[in-house]
Amino acid sequence: MYLDRADERILAGEEGETRRKMMEILVALGKVFGAEEMVPIASAQVSGASYKTIGEYGLEWLSGLDARVVVPSVVNPIGMPLDRWREMGISADFAEKQLKVVAAYERLGIKLDCTCTPYYLYTTQYGEHLAWSESSAVSYANSVIGARTNREGGPSALAAAMIGKTPSYGLHLVKNRRPQVVIDVKPGDLEMGIAHYGALGYLVGKKVGNRIPFFRGIRPNRDQLKALGAAMAATGAVALYHVDKITPETRVFPFELSGLETIPVEGSDIRDQFHDIQVEAVAVGCPHCSPEELERIAQLLTGKSVKLPFYVFAAKGVMEKNQPLVAIIEKSGARVYADTCMVVSPGLEKFKGIMVNSGKALAYVPDMCGAPARIGTLEECVAVATGQA
Ligand code: F3S
């Protein structure tokens, strides 16, 4: 892999031990994946921020780093809301460790937005190279925005953030962004909402693994695309997908589909993902809510009170710009939390059944919270939480 003189100097340790180590990570990745060069990145999004997932080892590694990021960089959700962790039932012991992780990231110059939806806070452009690591954010950046990022691990995203470049391989190269499998969806009379797209992604992710799917027969909006991509990245390893005439690259590149495997999906296959279980809590906002989702939740909860714990997760910046909606939601007894989510926080581990409106949460809640999960539409989630179902 070609390195310029500045890269060589970093690799020789002339800019300190941390930057040398970070360059070593990038060079090793470049060699393994056959990159010919490095490309400058516009931003980084670093996962591995909840103490629940990185533990003592991760905290130690982060604390030992001594350099700052050189491109705008945000961190993934952490294990608790920074200012309301007591209210969420987080133990003081966990909070102490989580705050150390946060302090370690802050020292490296990373913005503490703690979100998997950085695209709501910072403009990300078509064709930009990025080093993002949270799988739903990666999927959204590649597929919905048309930016270019591989699915980085936490350390490689951090390395790219500190060097400002990433090795150019995989999804950074146009030739690797072509569809590899066609998904023919026939929803029939099923009215496809966000949860249905999550269930579709849950189903398709299991079938396609890490291939790039090309969807026909659907017309999702941006929130529905977010749900679809997040679920496919959870049950499969899909980092990029295309939707005919909807996602940007289908309008730019003449994709050749002949000869590709075609997988049919019927409305009944999607409906089959909706099971009933005993629910003790409801959690929405996986990935973190958009302003439109907050608005819909507020509409549904206006004048009602929740009988079950009802959690809504969103980026702090999105909450701050939509305070009236947050106030309406919280008036019902529901809670809107920033910085964290139902999967990476230990706060929901006390429940024995959790209802979600997300295919990704449906995939992760059982392992991460130790509780069975049920997927339902937002309307069904509100009906269950308010005792109307
Ligand atoms: Fe985001 Fe947590 Fe879901 S990080 S995508 S809300 S599992």
Per-residue pLDDT tens over the stretch 168-197: 999 999 999 999 999 999 999 999 999 999
Q: How far apart are CA 59 and CA 156, in angstroms?
A: 16
Q: Which of 344, 356, 364 to mutate to test the pocket of ligand 1 (most atoms within 8 A of CB)?
A: 344
DSSP codes, 56-83: HHHHHHHHT-----SS-EEE---SS-TT
- pLDDT digit string, tens, across residues 140-156: 999 999 999 999 999 99
CA nearest ligand 1 atom 3, residue: 286
- pLDDT digit string, tens, across residues 243-287: 999 999 999 998 999 999 999 999 999 999 998 999 999 999 999
354 lines ligand 1 (CB under 6 A): no
Residue 136 alpha carbon to ligand 1 centre in Å: 7
208 lines ligand 1 (CB under 6 A): no
134 lines ligand 1 (CB under 6 A): yes
Q: List the one residue out of 230, 58, 64, 14 whose CA is nearest residue 138.
A: 230
- pLDDT digit string, tens, across residues 45-93: 999 999 999 999 999 999 999 999 999 999 999 999 999 999 999 999 9
At 254 the pLDDT is 87
Residue 139 alpha carbon to ligand 1 centre in Å: 12
Q: How far apart are CA 209 and CA 337, in angstroms?
A: 32
What is the pLDDT averaged over residues 126-132?
A: 98
Ligand 1 atom nearest the C-alpha of 287 is 5
- pLDDT digit string, tens, across residues 330-375: 999 999 999 999 999 999 999 999 999 999 999 999 999 999 999 9
Query: What per-residue string of b and e applies to 11-44 under the rule 16 or more CB within 10 Å gives b?
Result: beeebeebbbbbbebbbebbeeeebeebbebbbb
288 lines ligand 1 (CB under 6 A): yes
For β-strands 165-167 and 38-40, DSSP reports them as: antiparallel
The count of C-alpha atoms lying within 13 angstroms of the C-alpha of 201, restricted to the half-sphere facing its C-beta, is 37
Residue 339 alpha carbon to ligand 1 centre in Å: 10
- Edge to edge, what strands does the sheet with 130-132 contain? 73-75, 43-46, 130-132
Q: What is the pTM of this model?
A: 0.97
287 lines ligand 1 (CB under 6 A): yes
Q: How far apart are CA 280 and CA 365, in angstroms?
A: 13
Q: Which of 46, 52, 116 to mutate to test the pocket of ligand 1 (most atoms within 8 A of CB)?
A: 116
Element (H, E) at 337: strand 335-337
- CA-to-CA dists, residue 40 to 131, 160, 182, angstroms: 10, 9, 32
- pLDDT digit string, tens, across residues 213-234: 999 999 999 999 999 999 999 9
Kindly tell me if the per-residue pLDDT of 35 is higher than 90.
Answer: yes
The first and second tokens of residue 80, run together, are: 């608790």
Kindly tell me if the per-residue pLDDT of 201 is higher than 90.
Answer: yes
Residue 339 CB contacts under 8 Å (≥ 6 apart), including other chains: 77, 78, 80, 81, 82, 112, 114, 115, 316
Residue 214 alpha carbon to ligand 1 centre in Å: 24
Ligand 1 atom nearest the C-alpha of 342 is 2
Distance of CA 75 to the CA centre of its chain: 11
Residue 288 alpha carbon to ligand 1 centre in Å: 7
| Per-state percent for the chain, helix, strand, coil, to nearest 5 | 45, 15, 45
Q: Which of 228, 286, 289, 356 to mutate to test the pocket of ligand 1 (most atoms within 8 A of CB)?
A: 286
Three-class SS state of 311:
strand
Q: List the one residue out of 345, 343, 277, 355 whose CA is nearest residue 309.
A: 355
Query: What per-residue string of b and e applies to 61-80 under the rule 16 or more CB within 10 Å gives b?
Result: ebeebebebbbbbbbbbbbb
138 lines ligand 1 (CB under 6 A): no
- CA-to-CA dists, residue 182 to 222, 224, 236, 253, 295, angstroms: 20, 19, 15, 16, 34
For β-strands 281-284 and 354-356, DSSP reports them as: parallel
Number of H helices, E strands in the chain: 15, 14
Beta bridge partners of 165: 40
pLDDT-derived band at 389 (thresholds 50, 70, 90) equals confident
Residue 343 alpha carbon to ligand 1 centre in Å: 6
Residue 9 alpha carbon to ligand 1 centre in Å: 38
At 143 the pLDDT is 98
Which letter does DSSP use for residue 348 in this model? G
Kindly tell me if the per-residue pLDDT of 307 is higher than 90.
Answer: yes
The dihedrals phi and psi of 261, each to the nearest 5 degrees, come to -60, 140
Domains of the chain are 5-174 (3.30.499.10), 178-271 (3.40.1060.10), 281-385 (3.30.499.10)
Q: Which of 136, 151, 289 to mutate to test the pocket of ligand 1 (most atoms within 8 A of CB)?
A: 136
